[in-house]
Amino acid sequence: MHYFSYKGRDFFCEETKVCSIAQKFGTPLYVYSKRTIFRHFHKIKEAFASINPLICYSVKANSNLSILNTLVREGAGLDIVSGGELFRAKKVNCPPQRVVYASVGKTDEEIKDAIKYGILLFNVESLGELAQINKIAGQLSENVDVTLRINPDIEPKTHKYITTGRKETKFGMDINTARKVFLKRGDFRFLKIRGVHIHIGSQITQSSPFIKAIKKVKGLIDDIKKEGINLKYFNIGGGLGIVYDKEKPQTAKVFADRVLPLLKAISLKTILEPGRFIVGNAGILITKVLYVKDTPSKKFIIVDAGMNDLLRPSLYEAYHRIVPLDRKPKTKDRRPKKADVVGPICESGDFLGKGRKLDVEKGDYLAVLGAGAYGFSMSSNYNSRRLTGEVLVDADKVYCIRERQNYSDLISKECIVT
Ligand code: LLP
More confident residue, 119 or 2: 119
- Residues 215, 252: one domain? yes
Q: Is residue 208 part of a domain?
A: yes
- Residues 303, 262: one domain? no
State the angle between helix axes of 108-117 and 127-139 in degrees (0 to 180), rounded to the nearest 10: 60
Q: Distance between CA 223 and CA 229 in Å, rounded?
A: 9
Mutate to test the pocket of ligand 1, among 60, 171, 240 (most ligand atoms within 8 A of CB): 60
Q: Is the CB–ligand 1 distance for residue 79 below 6 Å? A: yes
- Residues 337, 395: one domain? yes
What is the band of 385 on the pLDDT scale with cuts at 50, 70, 90? very high
- Residues 232, 328: one domain? no
Instruction: Specify whether 415 is catalytic.
Output: no
Tell how far the Cα of 82 is from the centroid of ligand 1, in angstroms.
Answer: 14
Which pLDDT belongs to residue 302?
98
Span 27-42, pLDDT tens digits: 999 999 999 999 999 9
Q: What is the pLDDT averaged over residues 191-199?
A: 97
Q: Is the CB–ligand 1 distance for residue 83 below 6 Å? A: no
Last residue of a domain, one of 212, 239, 274: 274
Dihedral angle sign, alpha carbons of residues 25, 1, 56, 380: negative
Q: What is the pLDDT averaged over residues 188-216?
A: 96
Span 111-126, pLDDT tens digits: 999 999 999 999 999 9
CATH label of the domain that carries residue 302: 2.40.37.10
- Residues 324, 194: one domain? no
Determine the residue type at 249: P
Q: Is residue 71 part of a domain?
A: no
Q: Distance between CA 229 and CA 187 in Å, rounded?
A: 15
- Residues 263, 242: one domain? yes
Q: Is residue 179 part of a domain?
A: yes
Q: Is residue 47 part of a domain?
A: no
Last residue of a domain, one of 257, 274, 291: 274
Which pLDDT belongs to residue 252?
97
- Residues 242, 330: one domain? no
Q: Is the CB–ligand 1 distance for residue 368 below 6 Å? A: no
Q: How many Cα atoms sit within 13 Å of 377 on the Cβ side?
A: 21
Phi and psi based region of residue 30 (left: phi greater than 0; alpha: psi -120 to 50; beta: remaining): beta
Span 268-298, pLDDT tens digits: 999 999 999 999 999 999 999 999 999 999 9
Task: Name, in order, each residue with C-beta under 8 angstroms of 348's C-beta and a sequence gap of 6 or more.
Answer: none
- Residues 206, 329: one domain? no
Q: CA torsion 167→154→379→45, rounded to 10°?
A: -140
How many structural domains does the chain have? 2
- Residues 262, 341: one domain? no
What is the band of 1 on the pLDDT scale with cuts at 50, 70, 90? low
Domain that includes residue 175, residue range: 95-274
Last residue of a domain, one of 274, 292, 310: 274
More confident residue, 169 or 314: 314
- Residues 147, 245: one domain? yes
